[in-house]
Structure 1
Amino acid sequence: MKKIYLLLLFISVVSCKDDLKIIDKPIEFGELREQLTLEYMESHYGIVQDSPTIEPKMVVIHWTAIPTLEKSFGAFVNTKIGDHRTKINTASQLNVSSQFLVDLDGTIYRLMPENVMARHVIGLNHCAIGIENVGGTASKPLTEKQLEANIKLVTYLKNKYEIDYVIGHYEYTNFENHELWLEKDNGYRTVKTDPGKDFLMKVKNATKSLEFKEVPVK
């Protein structure tokens, strides 16, 4: 993991196909975060591995409900979750995070390697790449630039990995009883509305040619 992050620090900007630019902005990911991630994988999913890598099967789109990039980044950067996250901090001390963070102007930041597990969606972290979008509140709604960036990023990820689903965070419980659902704690659930149905449907409609599978009906 340390070698991965040293590499990320030297490669600050990555240009991809379709005029996609990704800027690396690494969160903390030292030995403690790796340990907590491995413990989470075992306790919640029954997965025992030497490295917290994943085989991505879905992309989950979120909003941060935080108005700025730096404050949003600040919510993810630390290894341990804050005491104020009372609904989820009893499930693990591993902080929430995602692989990507998209600013209001559409700039895409990669917070950690794409194939390393981030804690962003109950039951599915072991197979999901997360895209967090700054904002999502009445005063800071998601923007057209973010929509364009999400469409490009989802396309990039689909072309790189065997991604079957693109979903909104609010759809995650539809996967209960699905083969991808591994959550062992039946009492561990939260109600989500991000990234909003309108935003999500625009991403899905723009990526129909990628032939994602339909989200299970609950």
Structure 2
Amino acid sequence: MIVRPISRYAAPLVLAAALAGCAGSLPAATSTDPAVLHAAADLARQEAAAAQTTTTSLDTGTTETSSDPSTSTGGQASSTASSTTTPPAVSPSRASTSRVPTSRAVASTAAIPTETASPVSPAQAKLFVVDATLPFGAARLAETAAYSLRHYGSASSRLTPTMIVLHFTAGATWTSARDTFAQDVPNLGELPGTCSHYVIDRDGTIYSLVPVTIRCRHTIGLNDQAIGIEMVQPAGPSGGWADQQILARPAQVDAALALVRQLQATYGIPTSSVIGHAMANADPHFHDLLGWRNDHVDWQSADVAQFRARL
């Protein structure tokens, strides 16, 4: 695979190399302005539409060039907090990232044919993945392993994903979700704090928060098996209402569908194992040694059925 610079213009964002397998601790985070992240993502979209698109493999983190000019544009973690605890106050004005000496946004494709210039369908939507890695050092990895021992019987922080759980943030910005996850404060009296692997903004930008090879505390009973994907959506009259807002938002839902498809292809995850947080307790893979249960309403089964039908 030929590795090339993304573009002479795409300075401010680095791709989520964290999506590759991670065997150790991650370095401490540094701050990055969300406005810069959005500007770089927009610039990457414009370049992809005008010339070449840099594609990225979620499981290797490597980049290669493609000539396809087409583009598209909450669990414990859902809602970014437990229903029995109030999340810490966070500032939506800044987001911090780790492993970002320089930054750039990139577009990723899931085996999209490049021979045609026909309009892009949701099945062909490109992924604009921005590295917004959470601070996840040795201490948090140890907390995750200890949590896993108590709840799942194995002292490990490693994840071999076999499921995907959909969430919405119950907040208005992706930065507020990320900042809450970065806090690493006790939830339901236990560490580590909640987190999710991805958060997808309403404009379709995908932010990578944690490598998918590390367990995140986003869904009780499934954290040792599932990738968590948050979608920015304020809470409303009901979980179903909020789900429908996302399903009716093309940029966001198309990005979510494209991300899920690529994760399915990479890890062999069947569509039946793409579930909503509200469905977790009834899932046959659910298990928790302490008898904990989820009480969240994000992504009801009827709404997940609509999402699956579009995969």
Band the TM-score falls in, shorter-chain normalisation? 0.7 to 0.9
Structure 1 residues 144 and 153: alpha-carbon distance in aligned structure 2, compared to 1, 3 A threshold: same
Which residue, out of 151, 175, 186, partners 1:44? Answer: 151
Report which of the two structures shows the higher radius of gyration computed on alpha carbons: 2
Aligned to 1:128: 226
Shift of 1:155: 0.2
Check the 8 A contact 2:107/2:129 in 1, yes or no: yes
Structure 1 position 53 matched with structure 2 position 158:
yes
Structure 1 position 77 matched with structure 2 position 182:
yes
Structure 1 position 150 matched with structure 2 position 249:
no
Shift of 1:64: 0.9
Alpha-carbon displacement from aligned partner over 1:7-29 (angstroms, at most 9, x marks no partner):
85357544321422211101120
- Give the 3-state SS of the residue equivalent to 1:9 in structure 2: coil
Alpha-carbon displacement from aligned partner over 1:148-191 (angstroms, at most 9, x marks no partner):
1111011010011021310010000112xx3x3331012x1132
Check the 8 A contact 2:25/2:141 in 1, yes or no: no
- Give the 3-state SS of the residue equivalent to 2:261 in structure 1: helix
Distance 2:106 2:149 in 1: 33
Distance 2:134 2:26 in 1: 14
Check the 8 A contact 1:99/1:131 in 2, yes or no: yes
TM-score under structure 1 length normalisation? 0.80
Aligned to 1:89: 188
Structure 1 residues 37 and 22: alpha-carbon distance in aligned structure 2, compared to 1, 3 A threshold: same
Distance 2:154 2:105 in 1: 33
Aligned to 1:194: 298
Q: CA RMSD in A?
A: 2.3
Structure 1 residues 5 and 40: alpha-carbon distance in aligned structure 2, compared to 1, 3 A threshold: same
Distance 1:23 1:159 in 2: 20
Q: What are structure 2's unaligned runs of at least 5 residues?
A: 1-23, 30-97, 111-125
Structure 1 residues 3 and 95: alpha-carbon distance in aligned structure 2, compared to 1, 3 A threshold: closer
Structure 1 position 17 matched with structure 2 position 98:
no
Q: Which amino acid aligns with 1:106?
A: G
Aligned to 2:21: none
- Give the 3-state SS of the residue equivalent to 1:159 in structure 2: helix
- Give the 3-state SS of the residue equivalent to 2:224 in structure 1: helix
Distance 1:5 1:154 in 2: 28
- Give the 3-state SS of the residue equivalent to 2:107 in structure 1: strand
Structure 1 position 104 matched with structure 2 position 202:
yes
Structure 1 residues 151 and 8: alpha-carbon distance in aligned structure 2, compared to 1, 3 A threshold: farther
Shift of 1:78: 1.5
Check the 8 A contact 2:279/2:300 in 1, yes or no: no
**After alignment, is 123-132 or 139-148 more displaced?**
139-148
Structure 1 position 2 matched with structure 2 position 25:
yes
Alpha-carbon displacement from aligned partner over 1:87-120 (angstroms, at most 9, x marks no partner):
x522x22111110000111110000101110000
Structure 1 position 166 matched with structure 2 position 274:
yes
What is the aligned residue count? 194
TM-score under structure 2 length normalisation? 0.57
- Give the 3-state SS of the residue equivalent to 1:48 in structure 2: coil
Distance 2:26 2:281 in 1: 35
Structure 1 residues 9 and 36: alpha-carbon distance in aligned structure 2, compared to 1, 3 A threshold: same
Q: Which amino acid aligns with 2:161?
A: P
Check the 8 A contact 1:27/1:78 in 2, yes or no: no
Distance 1:48 1:102 in 2: 30
- Give the 3-state SS of the residue equivalent to 2:207 in structure 1: strand
**After alignment, is 156-165 or 119-128 more displaced?**
156-165
Q: What are structure 1's unaligned runs of at least 5 residues?
A: 82-87, 208-218
Q: Which amino acid aligns with 1:43?
A: R
Runs of 4 or more above 4 Å deviation: 3-8, 196-199
Structure 1 position 205 matched with structure 2 position 304:
no
Structure 1 residues 59 and 157: alpha-carbon distance in aligned structure 2, compared to 1, 3 A threshold: same
